[in-house]
Amino acid sequence: MQTERPVYEEIEELLRGVEQPRFALIEQSVDSPAALSDVRGAVREALKGVEVPSGSVAVGVGSRGVGGIAEVVAALVGVLKERGAEPFVVPAMGSHGASTAEGQADVLRHLGVSEETAGCPVRATMESVKIGETPAGVEVFMDKNAYEADSVIVVNRIKPHTAFRGAVESGPTKMLAIGLGKQRGAHSIHSAGWHAIHETIPQAARVAVETGKVAFGLAVLENADEEPYRVAAIPADNLEEAEAPLLEEAKKKLLRLPFEDLDVLIVDEIGKNISGDGADPNVTGRYPTTAASGGPRIERVVFLGLTEETGGNANGLGAADVVTERLAGAMDRPSTYMNALTSTTPVPVKIPMVMPNERMALAAALTMCAGVSPAGARIVRVQNTLKLRRMWVSEALLEEVERDERLRVVQGPQEMRFDEGGTSA
């Protein structure tokens, strides 16, 4: 039963005495391709390898923060117009944006894709059309506006997925199967089971291609700093085969934490613009399903806040052991829960232990690291799972930093300072 003592009073007393280790700022160097100096030129060059359609063309654009996405879309639209086509953008993001047409258009605007930047209309709807079934009987859907167009092109980043492993994961193939299918299509694919999704997605994409509407996929590969370094146009009839080696290339370029074993990982912000699961499980090692694995071994994970771009969608907070009241209070439950209902994965939306502030959140995580003294805890703090060039590490990791030629200390050990409200300064 509830006690009459003020909320958190006993917990504050317990955590106030937890010793906080000192932290040093380090930087990791990686062998990463240089960013494209001319994104629009790269798009135009890539398009020379495919047949550019005429008539009305739906350009599917997703919900992730793809590097240079506004320029990529604008360049594609420009070429389509030059060839006499009538392009328009459609949100291809499943149930994201709170599963509303307005919400999905807002997501695109946040990413920099609008009628003004793209140079063509943006037509958002949650209506979809059933276009067929996979050999296993899984229903496949397509955005109604896209289905009514003469041709469809999807634009997406190729990247390892956060919840399954397959020959193709995140990329144009998945966008055709799930993103362009809106909520009904995304739920249909996920409902077939995570154990089979690596087969269901390519099968569903083939159904979309067999409509004869899909012209090609425009794939973007990013370097370690989230900058596009390569753009590839893949014809629809060769989508899966051509995407697979690009995924292997993307896996090698994925920036990760330089440590295999940690006591605590602190992530300043999570959000759908960073990863489908808020914080990339390929970085944290905390996966929402059993269909994927890998990454570091981390005893306790702390999430501090949400990005503004995520619009309250806190999908992925369930991967943490502790979150702040600031994060929990910013959570928009309906949009977050829609993710779970569509993907059939409730674990990422479960609310972990909530602490009033950052100081108490870290102290709580340290308290729950059994057999580890707070002063000797191996801790890493990052801004988010995309920003991994620089990070704060506790003193217990500095010996390992010195042995790793990829790492260098930028600022020496210092205390993590908190204001009166417990927020780090």
Cβ burial 101-121 (10 Å sphere, 16+ → b, else e): bebbbbbbebbbbbeebbbbe
Please state, in angstroms and as integers, the Cα–Cα distance from residue 387 to each residue in 218, 272, 378, following that order.
25, 15, 19
Helices of type H across 285-371: 325-330, 333-343, 358-367
Contact (CB, 8 A) for 179 and 214: no
Written as six digits, the tokens of 144 are 């109604």
Residue 253: the pLDDT is: 86
SS3 82: helix
Contact (CB, 8 A) for 285 and 259: no
Residue 2: the pLDDT is: 53
Q: Which residue is it, tokens 């146009």?
A: 233
Whole-angstrom distance, CA of residue 378 vs CA of residue 372: 9
Please state, in angstroms and as integers, the Cα–Cα distance from residue 333 to each residue in 98, 302, 369, following that order.
10, 20, 30
Contact (CB, 8 A) for 265 and 322: no
Domains in the chain, start-ordered, CATH in brackets? 10-30+256-415 (no CATH), 39-253 (3.40.50.11440)
Average pLDDT rounded to a whole number, residues 224-242: 94
Average pLDDT rounded to a whole number, residues 48-65: 93
Written as six digits, the tokens of 235 are 């014809």
Q: For residue 395, what is the DSSP state?
A: G
Specify the amino acid at residue 207: V
Q: Per-residue pLDDT tens for 253-312?
A: 889 999 999 999 999 999 998 999 999 999 999 999 999 999 999 999 999 999 998 989
Q: Per-residue pLDDT tens for 184-223?
A: 999 999 999 999 999 999 999 999 999 999 999 999 999 9
For 7, residues 6+ apart whose C-beta sits below 8 A from its C-beta are none
Residue 1: the pLDDT is: 43
Secondary structure percentages of the chain, helix, strand, coil, to 5: 35, 25, 40
- Identify the CA nearest to 365 among candidates 18, 17, 63: 18
**Confidence category of residue 136, pLDDT binned at 50, 70, 90:** very high
Give kind and range of the element (H or E) at residue 188: helix 182-191
**End-to-end alpha-carbon separation of the chain, Å?**
37
Average pLDDT rounded to a whole number, residues 36-57: 96
Contact (CB, 8 A) for 270 and 307: yes
Statement: residue 238 has pLDDT above 90: yes
